[in-house]
């Protein structure tokens, strides 16, 4: 049987990480990996999370299962974090899943059952796992224009022109904030126009929010998802706690559905319970328990918000420093967009050949489409990177 399998292409990011580890040059710089790193290259455990773990160690009395869709207290604190008071609770159904990726997968499974004729629309470009998972589930997909390749800003006219072709019942994936891989994001006016278009077309928004708090702030980053929840009769949300709580390996994600009314909420909740049972039965609890404790305890929450703000402003500072260094090296402002983008990622606009030269000649590692991780920068490496970019013709 197994001989009938075909070799699968390697994940480009994981492959790049392997190449970086094998590189023996002590000057090597990793801008490819998709996790937050501090100035020392570490991915630390956040202070509040560590305190919550210590409390949990002393207080936890069982390792028994919670519920098929996870603990209700986790649902409640996450609904408040992501949606605030934008929608009544009787319209919300939940399912805790293994990471944001697991949440996306469960949503796609739900779409296939609930709307088998739907097409899933996604930005061009988007996170590579979006099209891979949609294809894996077997749902038709199309892309909409997103990035102006010259200005590195959102091509909003192109986006709206493409989405005008969506039909009733189609699903539109939107990055809630900190667009991956571009770093270019919708402004509040544009979010409003997107909401109006989706309502007019009868399309269903599917918001993937994985970086809340990394862009303009916890509340500001939730503007789009909350606006859509207020205006659209139905909505799908995948939320990840990997980045803003720093609990990558705990695999903590959440599905939230917004239904038209309480009756449809009950249907959605029943289906989410069934999908969890079919795919992995009970979700892992440790990460969700920590998130619940941090968000429920005023002291822990204040410490978490303070550290998250340090992370956010630190990345903004690094963005400005790299943009300034490139301005000095090039004598132009063509990389000024780096300082305007938000989140962990931006695309430099280099060719794949230039990216290879950065890796081979300068030991600087980034994804082939020139997406780089802002958190991989530091004050020492920024001048080196700026000079190298110019040296390869950037």
Our answer to whether residue 243 is catalytic in this structure is yes
The rounded distance, in Å, linking the Cα atoms of 72 and 78 is: 10
SS3 204: strand
Residue by residue, DSSP assigns 140-203 as -EEEEE-B-TTT-SB-HHHHHHHHTT--TT-EEEEESSS-TTT-----HHHHHHHHHHHHHHT-
The rounded distance, in Å, linking the Cα atoms of 228 and 338 is: 28
Q: How far is CA 302 from CA 36, 197, 307, in A?
A: 20, 38, 9
Q: Give me the residue label for tokens 């102006």.
A: 148
Nearest to 346 by CA among 17, 194, 125: 125
The active-site residue, picked from 210, 229, 268, 323, is 210
The active-site residue, picked from 162, 208, 221, 369, is 208
CB 226 within 8 Å of CB 83: yes
Our answer to whether residue 127 is catalytic in this structure is yes
Our answer to whether residue 208 is catalytic in this structure is yes
Cα atoms in the Cβ-side hemisphere of radius 13 Å centred on 163: 29
The active-site residue, picked from 243, 285, 304, 375, is 243
CB 394 within 8 Å of CB 348: yes
Q: Give me the residue label for tokens 């986006």.
A: 159
CB 234 within 8 Å of CB 258: yes
Q: Which residues pair with 371 in a beta bridge?
A: 347
* Rg for the chain, CA atoms, rounded: 21
The rounded distance, in Å, linking the Cα atoms of 345 and 32 is: 10
| DSSP designation for 262 | H
For 254, the enclosing helix (H) or strand (E) is: strand 253-258
Nearest to 108 by CA among 210, 7, 204: 204
CB 53 within 8 Å of CB 297: no
The active-site residue, picked from 52, 93, 127, 288, is 127
Q: What amino acid positions are annotated as catalytic residues? A: 127, 208, 210, 243
């Amino acid at each position: 049987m197994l001989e009938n399998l075909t070799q699968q292409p390697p994940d480009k990011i994981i492959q790049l990480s392997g190449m970086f580890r094998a590189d023996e040059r002590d000057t090597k710089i990793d801008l490819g990996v998709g996790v937050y790193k501090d100035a020392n290259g570490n991915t630390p455990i956040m202070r509040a999370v560590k305190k919550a773990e210590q409390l949990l160690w002393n207080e936890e009395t069982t390792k028994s299962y919670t519920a098929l869709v996870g603990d209700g207290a986790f649902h409640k604190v996450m609904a408040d974090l992501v949606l605030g008071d934008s929608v009544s609770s009787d319209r919300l159904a939940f399912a805790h899943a293994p990471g944001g990726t697991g949440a996306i997968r469960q949503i796609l499974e739900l779409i296939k059952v609930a709307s088998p004729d739907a097409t899933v629309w996604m930005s061009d470009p988007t996170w590579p796992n979006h099209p891979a998972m949609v294809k894996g589930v077997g749902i038709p997909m199309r892309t909409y224009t997103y990035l102006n390749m010259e200005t590195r800003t959102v091509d909003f006219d192109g986006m709206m022109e493409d989405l005008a072709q969506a039909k009733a019942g189609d699903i539109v994936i939107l990055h809630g904030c900190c667009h991956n891989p571009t770093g270019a994001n919708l402004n509040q006016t544009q979010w409003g126009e997107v909401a109006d278009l989706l309502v007019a077309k009868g399309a269903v928004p599917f918001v993937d929010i994985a970086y809340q708090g990394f862009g303009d702030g916890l509340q500001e980053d939730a503007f789009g998802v909350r606006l859509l929840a207020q205006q659209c009769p139905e909505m799908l949300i995948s939320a990840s706690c990997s980045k803003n709580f720093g609990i990558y390996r705990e695999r903590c994600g959440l599905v939230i559905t917004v239904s038209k009314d309480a009756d449809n909420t009950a249907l959605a909740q029943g289906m989410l319970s069934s999908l969890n049972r079919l795919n992995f039965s009970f979700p892992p609890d440790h990460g969700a328990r920590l998130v619940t404790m941090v968000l429920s305890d005023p002291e822990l929450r204040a410490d978490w918000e303070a550290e998250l703000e340090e992370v956010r402003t630190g990345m903004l500072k690094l963005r400005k420093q790299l943009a300034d260094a490139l301005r000095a090296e090039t004598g132009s402002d063509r990389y000024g967009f780096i300082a305007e983008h938000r989140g962990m990622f931006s695309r430099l606009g280099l060719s794949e050949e230039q990216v290879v030269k950065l890796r081979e000649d300068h030991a600087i590692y980034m994804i082939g489409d020139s997406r780089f991780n802002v958190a991989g920068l530091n004050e020492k490496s920024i001048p080196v990177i700026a000079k190298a970019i110019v040296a390869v013709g950037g």
